[in-house]
């Protein structure tokens, strides 16, 4: 009964338009008061404990680093560099969009941030060269999801904290799935280019121009190399890497590219503070929710229920995939990870699924929600950039959604896609 009240009160509050962080706090408090499942002090202790985690420091720092690197001109140079190298190829700017999104993903750790940073540069340029606006906007919105799979990834940090899994290992596990999404997006973009008979003038490749663009953009390329190389080389932890990326971004913005001013620096801090406050609120209030679920034996009850449906691992994983895609359509990714990890992780591990693989599977599933209404954060960001309606962008992104689902299925049934790099490089 207590679990039913917990979930129903949460659902009612969300449907009434209450912020999800507040909904989590209120539904938890209501359940505690009505059923005495725990003492009110549990909620206070859970909130304090949740936000005092050392690995959690990586989240505000990576958010800030992404905003600073966008402000400092790194995204613009990534786009230009990809464009000049691919200039003589058909659909070159489409490929450049995906390539730049992949590189920026290795800086920001956020899907919407990747769409904003890359899309704001490529969408106007693609329109100028004759690409249909819905084509360019749909591609930019889709490519943004690699932001949460290519390390560093904010959702991976949250999953690591929620599950106890190694954040560094999760970062490594996300590389191949993230690249698979990028390759698939390039294939779809090229297919749509031909199908719609898009005629765009290709740039003649100029080696001198390409080398100049590379020289200018090398500092942007070095950012993920320094961060990830330092983590896997054992020089610093993910949290320390996040702090280093902030310092690096400020240095590049002020000293190298000289596009950052004190005003834009302050603006970046303000923007990241707002994002961080929302994220930390979710972490704090979702912790009590998760603690109550454990006390009420919800994970164990769910595990028994699912096991009663089928004993086939792949049937269970397919059902979980469908459930996660549905959740991703309505609930913010960080909140979903915090709430669902303690519920679903015991279920999948009972079927022999590695927690690292499940972390990638969970994150990829929820990332698809960035591109599906009604939540569809990437769609709204892309709409703000291009001026197109969310409805038109949603229609344009459907082919990309199809390949997202195919790759998600591959990640689910082929564990090696997630586990091969951690096995090879981390033992």
Reading the block at residue 293, the tokens are 């679920």
> How many Cα neighbours within 13 Å face the side chain of 22?
8
Confidence of residue 390 (pLDDT cuts 50, 70, 90): confident
The 10s digit of each residue's pLDDT in 323-338 is 888 888 777 787 788 8
Mean pLDDT for 140-153 is 86
Residue 313 pLDDT greater than 70, yes or no: yes
User: Which is higher by pLDDT, 243 or 78?
Assistant: 243
B/e letters for 110-124, b = 16+ CB within 10 Å, e = fewer, are bbbbbbbbbbbbbbe
Q: What is this structure's pTM?
A: 0.83
Length of the chain: 427
Helix runs in 233-354, H state only: 238-251, 262-295, 298-309, 313-330, 333-350
What confidence score (pLDDT) does residue 118 get?
A: 83
Residue 346 pLDDT greater than 60, yes or no: yes
Confidence of residue 135 (pLDDT cuts 50, 70, 90): very high
User: Which is higher by pLDDT, 422 or 40?
Assistant: 422
Mean pLDDT for 31-55 is 72
* CA 32 to each of CA 8, 99, 245, 319: distance values in angstroms, whole numbers, following the listed order: 14, 49, 41, 31
The closest alpha carbon to 237, from 404, 93, 55, 79, belongs to 55
Mean pLDDT for 286-302 is 74
The 10s digit of each residue's pLDDT in 171-181 is 899 999 999 99
What confidence score (pLDDT) does residue 236 get?
A: 80
Lowest mean pLDDT among 38-42, 153-157, 340-344: 38-42
Q: State CA 54 to chain mean position distance.
A: 21
What confidence score (pLDDT) does residue 413 get?
A: 92
The closest alpha carbon to 97, from 74, 73, 126, belongs to 126
DSSP H or E run through 399: helix 390-413
What confidence score (pLDDT) does residue 189 get?
A: 92
Residue 206 pLDDT greater than 80, yes or no: no
What confidence score (pLDDT) does residue 38 get?
A: 65
What confidence score (pLDDT) does residue 401 get?
A: 93
Confidence of residue 289 (pLDDT cuts 50, 70, 90): confident
Lowest mean pLDDT among 47-51, 182-186, 284-288, 374-378: 47-51
With beta carbons less than 8 A apart as the criterion, state whether 360 and 174 touch: yes
The closest alpha carbon to 129, from 202, 186, 180, belongs to 202
The mean of the pLDDT values for the chain is: 83
What confidence score (pLDDT) does residue 398 get?
A: 93
* CA 232 to each of CA 109, 157, 374, 416: distance values in angstroms, whole numbers, following the listed order: 17, 15, 38, 20
What confidence score (pLDDT) does residue 326 get?
A: 82
Give the domain ranges of the chain.
2-426
Task: Give percent of the chain above pLDDT 90.
Answer: 17
What confidence score (pLDDT) does residue 201 get?
A: 62
The closest alpha carbon to 385, from 80, 123, 125, belongs to 123
> What is the rounded CA–CA span in Å between residue 97 and residue 104?
10
What confidence score (pLDDT) does residue 404 get?
A: 93
Helix runs in 16-132, H state only: 20-35, 40-51, 58-71, 74-85, 92-108, 111-128
């Amino acid at each position: 009964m207590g679990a039913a009240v917990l979930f129903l009160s949460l659902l009612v509050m969300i449907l009434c338009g209450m912020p999800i962080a507040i909904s989590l706090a209120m539904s938890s408090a209501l359940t505690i008061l009505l059923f005495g499942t725990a003492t009110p002090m549990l909620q206070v202790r859970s909130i304090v404990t949740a936000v005092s985690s050392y690995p959690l420091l990586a989240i505000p720092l990576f958010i800030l680093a992404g905003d600073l690197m966008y402000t400092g001109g790194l995204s613009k140079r990534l786009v230009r560099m990809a464009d000049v190298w691919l200039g003589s190829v058909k659909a070159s700017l489409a490929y450049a969009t995906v390539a730049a999104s992949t590189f920026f993903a290795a800086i920001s750790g956020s899907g919407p941030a990747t769409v904003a940073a890359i899309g704001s540069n490529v969408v106007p340029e693609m329109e100028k060269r004759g690409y249909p606006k819905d084509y360019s906007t749909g591609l930019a919105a889709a490519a943004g999801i690699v932001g949460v799979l290519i390390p560093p990834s904010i959702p991976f940090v949250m999953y690591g904290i929620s599950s106890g899994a190694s954040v560094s290992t999760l970062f490594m596990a996300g590389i191949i799935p993230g690249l698979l999404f990028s390759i698939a997006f390039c294939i779809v973009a090229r297919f749509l280019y031909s199908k719609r008979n898009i005629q765009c003038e290709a740039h003649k490749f100029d080696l001198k121009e390409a080398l100049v663009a590379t020289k200018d953009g090398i500092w942007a390329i070095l950012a993920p190399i320094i961060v990830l190389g330092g983590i896997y080389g054992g020089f610093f932890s993910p949290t320390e890497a996040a702090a280093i990326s902030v310092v690096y971004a400020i240095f590049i913005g002020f000293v190298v590219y000289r596009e950052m001013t004190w005003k834009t620096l302050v603006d970046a801090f303000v923007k990241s503070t707002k994002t961080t406050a929302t994220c930390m609120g979710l972490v704090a209030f979702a912790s009590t929710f998760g603690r109550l679920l454990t006390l009420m034996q919800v994970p164990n009850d769910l595990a028994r229920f699912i096991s009663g449906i089928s004993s086939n691992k792949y049937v269970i994983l397919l059902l979980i995939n469908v459930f996660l895609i549905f959740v991703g359509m309505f609930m913010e990714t960080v909140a979903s990870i915090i709430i669902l990890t303690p519920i679903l992780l015991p279920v999948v591990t009972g079927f022999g699924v590695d927690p690292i693989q499940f972390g990638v599977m969970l994150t990829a599933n929820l990332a698809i929600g960035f591109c599906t209404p009604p939540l569809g954060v990437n769609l709204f960001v892309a709409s703000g950039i291009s001026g197109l309606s969310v409805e038109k962008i949603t229609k344009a992104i459907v082919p990309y959604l199809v390949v997202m689902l195919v790759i998600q299925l591959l990640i689910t049934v082929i564990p090696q896609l997630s586990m091969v790099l951690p096995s090879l490089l981390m033992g």
